[in-house]
């Protein structure tokens, strides 16, 4: 079965830009992508209502990141953890940074964060471009009928101002009135200077196992959710969402996040169809990788 794909780097990706309030935490002693195991564990206490950051390594060290959260304590019913990985300029170099958000109404949460970097995956797309501030750059990758599930990577190629970062980046299916195309989109904040960057897509669909696959009709504005596995399993996910009809539509959000249901932490897949579009029939395919 041919499919389109969409990957939000958690939100992958609809989260970004000015992450405020923000707290910086201890950095990894080594770059994850150049370490022998390619894995780093961050035992931490998540503070509510602030973005907490973790240094993963120099952005110049290429690789695809996979992140797993293992909450070690209960929390309030409905608590969740979101994250995004962004390159950030620290005044000297660009650093890949994991930014984590925990709800403001929850107590601090003891958590084990595991991050794996893989540079052995197939590369399906690569280009260099000049990113202009506030512009939603788009690069058509392929016809959406072709198979593909990807992890995007953005590597800045020149210095910038301290605190410079990305506003957002995503790979998503887009309908051009005739057919669905897979498009890689990137934006830097309107307050940052132009930036020369390398854009890359790592492919996972030929190397990672499929965890689950199903069809669903997404209702406009509904925060659809499906339990994947207990968060203690130490898995990370790549999600492929394929529109099945030649109709205009837009996936507003797509992510997998830990959620507490009052008794157990579960990894939950969440997908939302934009409110101003009709219901959308989709095929959803989830790939999984162990982070240990």
For the chain, the structural domain boundaries read 1-212, 213-290
DSSP code string of 10-74: TTBTTS-S---SEEE-PPPSS-GGGSSS-EEEEEEEEPTTSEEEEEEEETTS--EEEEEEEE-S-
Q: How confident is the model at residue 179 (pLDDT cuts 50, 70, 90)?
A: confident
Residue 156: pLDDT over 50: yes
* Closest to 38 in 3D by CA, of 49, 30, 46, 50: 30
Answer whether residue 251 shows pLDDT above 90.
no
At 23 the pLDDT is 59
CA–CA distance, 242 with 225 (Å, rounded to integer):
16
Predicted TM-score of the model (pTM)? 0.89
Average pLDDT over residues 252-258: 93
Percent of the chain scored above 90 by pLDDT?
74
Q: Which pLDDT belongs to residue 6? A: 39
pLDDT on residue 147: 82
Q: Average pLDDT, stretch 214-224? A: 95
Provide mean pLDDT across the span 120-138.
96
Peptide bond into 21 cis (omega under 30): yes
pLDDT recorded at residue 146: 82
**Span 188-201, pLDDT tens digits:** 999 999 999 999 99
Whether residue 15 is predicted with pLDDT greater than 70 in this model: the reply is no
Q: What is the pLDDT of residue 5?
A: 38
pLDDT reading at 21 higher than 70: no
Q: Give the pLDDT of residue 247.
A: 85
């Amino acid at each position: 079965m041919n499919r389109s794909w969409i990957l939000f780097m958690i939100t992958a990706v609809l989260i970004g830009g000015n992450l405020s309030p923000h707290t910086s935490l201890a950095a990894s002693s080594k770059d994850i992508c150049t370490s022998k195991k390619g894995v780093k564990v961050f035992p931490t206490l998540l503070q509510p209502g602030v973005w907490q950051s973790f240094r993963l390594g120099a952005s110049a060290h290429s690789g695809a990141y996979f992140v797993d959260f293992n909450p070690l304590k209960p929390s309030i019913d409905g608590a969740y953890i979101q994250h995004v990985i962004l390159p950030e300029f620290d005044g000297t170099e660009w650093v890949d940074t994991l930014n984590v958000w925990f709800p403001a109404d929850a107590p601090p949460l003891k958590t084990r964060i595991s991050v794996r970097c893989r540079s052995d995956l197939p590369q399906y797309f690569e280009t260099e471009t000049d990113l202009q501030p506030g512009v939603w750059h788009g690069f058509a990758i392929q016809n959406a009928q072709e198979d593909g599930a990807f992890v995007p990577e953005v590597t800045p190629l020149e210095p910038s101002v301290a605190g410079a970062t990305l506003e957002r980046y995503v790979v998503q299916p887009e309908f051009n009135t005739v057919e669905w195309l897979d498009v890689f989109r990137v934006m830097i904040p309107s307050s940052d200077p132009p930036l020369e960057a390398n854009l890359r897509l790592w492919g996972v669909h030929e190397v990672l196992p499929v965890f689950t696959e199903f069809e669903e009709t997404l209702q406009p504005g509904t925060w659809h959710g499906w339990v994947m596995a207990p968060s203690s399993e130490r898995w990370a996910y790549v999600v492929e969402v394929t529109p099945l009809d030649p109709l205009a539509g837009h996936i507003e959000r797509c992510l997998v996040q830990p959620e507490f249901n009052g008794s157990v932490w579960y990894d939950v897949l969440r997908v939302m169809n934009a409110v101003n579009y009709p219901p959308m029939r989709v095929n959803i395919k989830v790939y999984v990788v162990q982070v240990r």
